Structure 1
Amino acid sequence: MTGKVWLVGAGPGDPGLFTLKGKQVLSEAQVVVYDALVGQGVLNMMPKEAELINVGKRASNHTMPQEEINRVLADKALEGKRVVRLKGGDPFLFGRGGEELELLTSCGIPYEIVPGVTSALSVPAYNGIPVTHRDFCSSLHIVTGHKRKGQAYDIDFDALVRTKGTLVFLMGVSALEDICRGLLQAGMAEDMPAAVLVKGTTSGQKRIVATVSSLKEEVDRQGVETPAIIVVGKVCALAGEFAWYEKLPLAGMKVLVTRPKELISQMSEKLRRKGAEVLELPAVATVPIWPNPALSGCISSLSEYQWIVFTSPAGVRIFFDALAAEHRDVRALGGVRVAAIGGGTAKALAERGIYADLVPEVYDGESLGVALAGRCTGNERILIPRAAAGNQELVNALEKVRGVRVEDIPTYDTVYEKQDFIDERAEFENGSIDYAVFTSASTVRGFAKAVEGLDYSTVSAVCIGKQTQAAAAALGMKTYVAKQASMDSIVEALEKLAARDRTE
């Protein structure tokens, strides 16, 4: 049976600009053939079970020739698979999408096109440059700045200058001097505003604004990295007035987030709203222990417990899944009081209609144990359904109360994960990541496994609590602790660090 190919535009880098349809199609892919220009945030959306093929296309640096890419798409589809060709920007805007369709069409392979947000529009927008403005221009022209090696430009500079419109050159930074010279020779005014926009929509975003006659000199002075685009036109003069992205509190900051996969998106979204670029490293995953006779036995006798203690949102989720598997619901907890280690766990309980009777002021196992021990008279039976490798300080504090019976039931294992398509170790070694966020000691350990061999002194760690900080400090990381054990408090800590970094 013949499969199908989707050509999907991944946008300019910010995963928030990836389309809803693109995300849905990607989530169902069995094979993903992706480019070097696809943003890391979108790469993290690739299905774990999919076959991932990196073709690494970037100007003058192709891991795989275009003809071979075309053949891979066809071959995988002919195997009956759902194939996503994931391309930076839009697949039909200098993305050679049309060439890829030629072979698919000749082979009778069905396909769909999912347009993407192009850098020609989005990158100027993130730099405060409207590519059209009725007071300045009435047209927009997008031109490839790339030329074949050893050949002259096939660009009608005279025609471009006559349009009096905004000009956007993609893939042209290496030929900036030739482009500016061509425009000037065609009669463009020397003082026409022009800009080079570097790594737009990411933490590495940089803007160099000058004139057509001085832009090359200014770029040589300041230096640029790719990817970058060139914008020429009067609208470039508006960048200083309309710039907005760099005003966000975490703009220019790249943050590694290490929460468990099922929780990572919440933390990432909070940081992205503040302007940070987020690199997600799940680091740990929770695997339910099932079947679990010990937990099933506890659920059958819930009325005999005075307290149930939850130490993580994952523990809450897995407990209630087990409750449902036994054909029981929240009514089974009617006479039982509930304790939660912190705000996140309490929120997970509230979402299931249970409001915690006890949440300690300090969100850690020892504090929870001490607080709960203070509520006990000595005749309580306490159930703790949690990770198999749970912190022992919680149990130790409770067992100091004579007569208390503690049943510490493992309900899930914590396993460490590693992704192969992003080299987090290299990201730290080249200074690309400003801070790493850790929400538990287990995420610190998972991170360490994922980046074995890294000099941990290069890592600035923002930790959710003292136990997490201790685990990070033991590896030699530079550590900071949020005032409270919550995602919002972590974001506040990062905002303060960002403000401090900008003044240093």
Structure 2
Amino acid sequence: MTYLSQGRVLLVGAGPGAVDLMTLRAMRMLETADAVVYDRLVSPEILGFAPPDARMIAVGKGPKCPTVPQERINEILYDLAREGLCVARLKGGDPLIFGRGSEEAEYLRARGVAVEYCPGITAAQGMAASTGVPLTHRGLSTGVRYVTGHRARNAPLDLDWKSLASEDTTLVVYMGAANIAEIALNLMREGLPGALPVMAVSEATTPREIRRVSRLDRIGLDMAAAPLPAPVLFVIGHVVSLYRDTALPFDLPEAMAGE
């Protein structure tokens, strides 16, 4: 494979939202970028660390909102790299967990564009740290599974509900706000009890974080009655019973507070 002599794309995980949960590598990659192509899940505090002269290109996707098609995002990344630019493709969380990073890398490498990855703390880990709700806990959960609650082009959910309906496992649902009632119903049909605790966390780890504790048989109604700002993460399982509203925010040094 012959790569372009100068242009390259950095697939950077911005983490779950808080500036200080970015890795040092991610920060360095962002600071060296000539162009930043970013998703809507990247917090404004993090965007404030992009170089002041960098091209800032928003390509965020959202349910029931005008979006930039994935095919067009691929083209934007390629066109910028072909100009000889260092492009930071900034994604919330980790680019390889529901981030389509591998799809973009495949497209770019097939066209001679060098690609580098930088992992990021995924939203589930950030949520666990900020709320104190563990993803696993002896006697309550022997494993954890991450699933997406949204399909491209609003296609029907086709998850393996039977395998997901395990009381011994913590289930974390990304991008599920629009379909949480359907998700809960399918899990109960496969045997999960309606009283199983559920936590919804909006904008986890940021100053705007909101937490809502409910039950599997109530979470759909609760979200319909009072929707939470996106992004929203759902944690389903007995570990939610450990939640205590005592977690305090970690105060950042002023230099890390963002623009």
Instruction: Indicate whether the TM-score tops 0.5.
Output: yes
Q: Secondary structure at the match of 2:150?
A: coil
**What do you get for the CA RMSD once the two structures are aligned?**
2.0
Which residue number corresponds to residue 460 of structure 1? none
Query: Residues of 1 paired with 2:227 and 2:75: CA distance?
Result: 38
Please tell me whether the aligned partners of residues 49 and 258 of structure 2 are also in contact (alpha carbons under 8 angstroms): no
Please tell me whether the aligned partners of residues 124 and 197 of structure 1 are also in contact (alpha carbons under 8 angstroms): no
Query: Residues of 2 paired with 1:143 and 1:123: CA distance?
Result: 15
Superposition map of 1:82-121 within 5 A = 82-121=86-125
Superposition map of 1:252-401 within 5 A = 267-269=254-256, 278=257, 280=259
| TM-score, length of structure 1 as denominator length | 0.48
Q: Which has the higher contact order (CA 8 A, sep 6+)?
A: 2
Q: Tell me the alpha carbon deviations over residues 131-156 of structure 1, each in whole angstroms, 9 at most, x when there is no partner.
A: 11112111100000002456431101
Query: Residues of 2 paired with 1:112 and 1:205: CA distance?
Result: 31
Q: Kindly state the Cα deviation for residue 211 of structure 1 after the two structures are TM-superposed.
A: 1.3
Please tell me whether the aligned partners of residues 2 and 109 of structure 1 are also in contact (alpha carbons under 8 angstroms): no
Q: Tell me the alpha carbon deviations over residues 158-214 of structure 1, each in whole angstroms, 9 at most, x when there is no partner.
A: 111147200000000111110100100000012111111111111221111121112
Q: Kindly state the Cα deviation for residue 100 of structure 1 after the two structures are TM-superposed.
A: 0.6
Amino acid paired to 2:247: W
Q: How many residues matched?
A: 255
Cα 1:87/1:59, change in 2 over 3 Å? farther
Give yes or no for the alignment of 1:245 onto 2:232: no
Where structure 1 has 5 or more consecutive residues not aligned to the other structure, the ranges are: 251-264, 270-277, 281-504
Cα 1:150/1:117, change in 2 over 3 Å? closer
| TM-score, length of structure 2 as denominator length | 0.91
Which residue number corresponds to residue 25 of structure 1? 29
Q: Secondary structure at the match of 1:71?
A: helix
Amino-acid identity (%): 36
Please tell me whether the aligned partners of residues 55 and 62 of structure 1 are also in contact (alpha carbons under 8 angstroms): no
* Larger Rg, first or second structure (1 or 2): 1
Q: 2:11 aligned to 4, 7, 10, which one?
A: 7
Q: Tell me the alpha carbon deviations over residues 452-485 of structure 1, each in whole angstroms, 9 at most, x when there is no partner.
A: xxxxxxxxxxxxxxxxxxxxxxxxxxxxxxxxxx
Q: Secondary structure at the match of 1:123?
A: helix
Amino acid paired to 2:230: T
Q: Kindly state the Cα deviation for residue 62 of structure 1 after the two structures are TM-superposed.
A: 4.7
Query: Residues of 2 paired with 1:47 and 1:154: CA distance?
Result: 42
Q: 2:162 aligned to 154, 158, 164, which one?
A: 158
Give yes or no for the alignment of 1:233 onto 2:237: yes
Q: 1:191 aligned to 176, 191, 195, which one?
A: 195
Q: Kindly state the Cα deviation for residue 86 of structure 1 after the two structures are TM-superposed.
A: 0.7
Cα 1:60/1:124, change in 2 over 3 Å? farther
Q: Tell me the alpha carbon deviations over residues 401-437 of structure 1, each in whole angstroms, 9 at most, x when there is no partner.
A: xxxxxxxxxxxxxxxxxxxxxxxxxxxxxxxxxxxxx
Please tell me whether the aligned partners of residues 167 and 238 of structure 2 are also in contact (alpha carbons under 8 angstroms): no
Q: Kindly state the Cα deviation for residue 61 of structure 1 after the two structures are TM-superposed.
A: 3.0
Q: Tell me the alpha carbon deviations over residues 241-280 of structure 1, each in whole angstroms, 9 at most, x when there is no partner.
A: 6x4136x6x7xxxxxxxxxxxxxx95354xxxxxxxx552
Give yes or no for the alignment of 1:220 onto 2:207: no
Query: Residues of 2 paired with 1:162 and 1:129: CA distance?
Result: 18
